[in-house]
Amino acid sequence: MYALISIASGVASGLIGFYVGVGLTALVRVAFGHSPWDAQISITVGYIFGLVGWLMGIGMWGAWGREWFGLPTYARKAPGWQRYFVFNSDHKVIGIQYLVTFVVVFLLAGLLAMVMRAELAQAGNQFLSNDQYNAVMGLHGILMIAVAVAAVIGGIGNYAVPLMIGAQDMAFPRLNALTYWLNPPVALLLLLTPALGGLETGWTAYPPLSVLTENAQLLFNLAIITFGLTSILGGLNFIATIIFLRAPGMTWGRLPIFVWSMFVASWLALLFTQGFAAALLMVLLDRAFGMSFFNAEAGGDPLLYQHVFWFYSHPAVYIMVVPGFGLALELITHFSRKPLFAYKYAVGGLLGILGLSGLVWAHHMFTSGMPNYLHGPFLALTEAISIPTGLIFLSALGTLFMGRLWLKTPMLFAMAVIFNFALGGVTGIFLADVPTDIHLHDTYFVVAHFHYTIVGGEIFALFGAIYYYFPKMTGRMYNETLGKLHFWWMFLGFNVTFFLMHWPGILGMNRRIADYPSSLEGVNLIISIAAFALGASFLVFVYNMVVSWVRGPVAEANPWRARTLEWQTSSPPPIENFPAPPVVRGHPYEYGVPGAVHAIVPTPMPGGAPAGGAK
């Protein structure tokens, strides 16, 4: 009932806002002697009003908006599962909201990939027209980008970071709730794009096509500018939280490595996301007002878009993969039962990526016609980024070396991250080098490369983290056998699919195109079959998660005997996280070091683990 009221009032005031916005636009336009409706301007203004209406209706008005007018605030109370459907500022609720939302989006976007592979199983057009293929491909791309940006940072980050640093909540809890509730309109707009002509430009939205194409592009621009706002506000919140809310004694040198990776990714999101917003805003201005940012005839330049867009979208891959690295290192050290090898160098590696990531964007543009003198510097800077990445790899390998590996499902996923990203990193060298890139640009080699880095590097870490934190989030244990089955099924399906994809890429098979030469049929059929197997592996995951959440065995507070702070409280944690504030005394990862203590939590919960964790 509470959930229904909350969602219904959000939708209702969102709709009212939309029509108010459209009406106001019509009034102003008529007053200036134009026709009352202009698709670009009316939809944009209506969307802005509707977005504000939706936020206020979902509960932001009561929890926050009233304060701006000097009125007392109140929060909607909702018991049990219904707390996930109201404007709830508890970081643990928001983390689970993000995680469930984006796992669902991941599965939807995965289905779209299945459609693409079915079409590509044979040469020629099977059951999709070229336009339909473009729409499916564009939607798959942008939904997966959203998953990669938000699932780990919004889901795992929101849930784990305040617990890991011993805080009660994020620095700005209401801003955190606002950040989550901006996401449903984004999903709605993106899912509406096929009704307005489909995304013809793919997720990169290059002009001039994005200026000239159907109005689906308009919805895309509005959705992604909103999504960028969630990314920026989320990053801002994490930075303030990590700087100011660490428990007493939690110095920068004792910060868990995942928190460090979140700190780096948050700075990247805060600073660079504006590039995507600016690029799409320019497209919007060209579309709505006939401006000439990208119209070469009137003095504009389409290359401007590529510079501004990649200024965000290359750092974006580090927003995606850096928290994945953090999770992989975190899991590897817990499940190797050894201190994290070269902690300081791993942190240095993360900071090195932060420093270099803004200086490499034009390696996406070697074939775009930008001035030749830019090729050398961007080649060298791009290759330089393998040095900090290498530090992170060495830290992972050094931790595994001579460790007492405990091969639970989360550990298998973390080790797969190292394996997959090694392949993704090596193929990256060929794409950073100008001579090889000119041949490989825009082929399936690129597709294979970025799936190896983002899916192999981040999505595997995400699933490892979901299994790792499942007992913490739900208080129940997942089925280990099914977890391992999911891992091996997904790992093999993923590697067969994307390893084979390098081959048609080297032979010149273009990405983003529904058809290919019939000589490439054999390998594409095998890729499609492997991709279907990869897709089917998630059925095991969904079954395991749903059944275990409902009636899995009750988990201990600390089933992994981990030493970091999030495991020193009950599972699931109480609303204030810790019964009393923890005091940090030493490093988080001193497994097997006699007498080492990470933190003291004054009054352990009944059934909780001893403070500092068992060895």
Partner 1 sequence: MAATATSLPIAEHAHPDPVHLKRVGLWLFFFSESILFGLFLSARFFLEGIEAEHLDQALGLGITIVLLLSSVTAYTAETAIEHDRRGIAIWGLIGTILLGLVFAAGVGVEWSTAEFSRHEAFGTVFFSMTGLHASHVVSGIVLLVLALIQLLRGRFNSKDHWPISGVVMYWHFVDVVWVFYYPALYLVQGV
Binding stretches for partner 1 (CB under 8 A): 68-70, 166-168, 171-172, 175, 232, 236-237, 239-240, 243-248, 270-275, 277-278, 282, 285, 289-293, 298-301, 304, 307-308, 311, 580-583, 595, 597, 600, 602-603, 610-612
| Residue 248, preceding peptide bond in cis (omega within 30° of 0) | no
Q: Which is nearer to partner 1, 108 or 303 (CB)?
A: 303
Q: How far is the CB of 371 from partner 1 (least distance, A)?
A: 12
Coil/strand/helix, residue 63: helix
Q: Which is nearer to partner 1, 201 or 273 (CB)?
A: 273
Q: Which is nearer to partner 1, 301 or 521 (CB)?
A: 301
Q: How far is the CB of 205 from partner 1 (least distance, A)?
A: 16
Q: Which is nearer to partner 1, 209 or 240 (CB)?
A: 240
Q: How far is the CB of 249 from partner 1 (least distance, A)?
A: 9
Q: How far is the CB of 162 from partner 1 (least distance, A)?
A: 11
Q: How far is the CB of 597 from partner 1 (least distance, A)?
A: 6
Q: How far is the CB of 311 from partner 1 (least distance, A)?
A: 7
Do residues 461 and 148 touch, judged by C-beta distance below 8 A? no
Q: How many CA atoms lie within 13 A of 8 on its CB side?
A: 5
Do residues 112 and 143 touch, judged by C-beta distance below 8 A? yes
Q: How far is the CB of 599 from partner 1 (least distance, A)?
A: 10
CA 84 to chain CA mean position, Å:
20
The vertex-35 CA angle with 30 and 41, nearest 5°, equals 90
Q: Which is nearer to partner 1, 547 or 600 (CB)?
A: 600
Farthest CA pair distance, the chain: 81
Q: Which is nearer to partner 1, 298 or 513 (CB)?
A: 298
The rounded distance, in Å, linking the Cα atoms of 130 and 200 is 10
Q: Which is nearer to partner 1, 167 or 379 (CB)?
A: 167
| Residue 208, preceding peptide bond in cis (omega within 30° of 0) | yes
Q: How far is the CB of 360 from partner 1 (least distance, A)?
A: 17
The vertex-551 CA angle with 546 and 556, nearest 5°, equals 105
The rounded distance, in Å, linking the Cα atoms of 593 and 135 is 56
Number of H helices, E strands in the chain: 21, 2
Q: DSSP assignment of 133-158, as one string?
A: HHHHHHHHHHHHHHHHHHIIIIIIIH
Q: What percent of the chain is helix, strand and coil (3-state, nearest 5)?
A: 70, 0, 25
Q: Which is nearer to partner 1, 3 or 175 (CB)?
A: 175
Q: How far is the CB of 290 from partner 1 (least distance, A)?
A: 5
Q: How far is the CB of 171 from partner 1 (least distance, A)?
A: 6
Q: How far is the CB of 377 from partner 1 (least distance, A)?
A: 17
* Helices 460-474 and 409-432: angle between axes, nearest 10 degrees: 150
Spatial CB neighbours of 414, under 8 Å, sequence gap ≥ 6: 327, 328, 331, 332, 335, 460, 461, 464
Q: Which is nearer to partner 1, 517 or 607 (CB)?
A: 607
Q: Which is nearer to partner 1, 294 or 445 (CB)?
A: 294
Do residues 147 and 456 touch, judged by C-beta distance below 8 A? no
The vertex-254 CA angle with 252 and 255, nearest 5°, equals 65
Q: Which is nearer to partner 1, 90 or 200 (CB)?
A: 90
The rounded distance, in Å, linking the Cα atoms of 26 and 596 is 69
